[in-house]
Structure 1
């Protein structure tokens, strides 16, 4: 029930291991699903320099 327990999430974190209680992938992938495409962020124009 803590760091020493290999079956709990805290125990897995302590031992640097993975398993059912500490899985790598949060959600399983769906077969045939379209990959999500993200638009690249638009670059902001650099501020104009003030002439003295």
Structure 2
């Protein structure tokens, strides 16, 4: 007994094949989407890391600048003190000489 099929009908085997094909394609699409998402996340992470690195660098630079400034200020203070001391000694020396001449 032969079974005649109409043009729009598929055999069970063909239907099963189509289903698996569709499933495979869906899985491929899902995988692709996931990969895209992962790539995006990696890119964002990289960007964030770069930003963080820059921020830290700037912080370090600022810290170093402040250190240098402090050092310079200290040096200047020392120099001023030294100058004052020298001036005082000079004055004292002058006074002593005057006193010696008077005697």
Q: Give the TM-score, by structure 1 length.
A: 0.26
Between Structure 1 and Structure 2, which shows a larger proportion of helix residues? 2
Higher relative contact order (CA 8 A, sep 6+): 1
Q: Give the TM-score, by structure 2 length.
A: 0.17
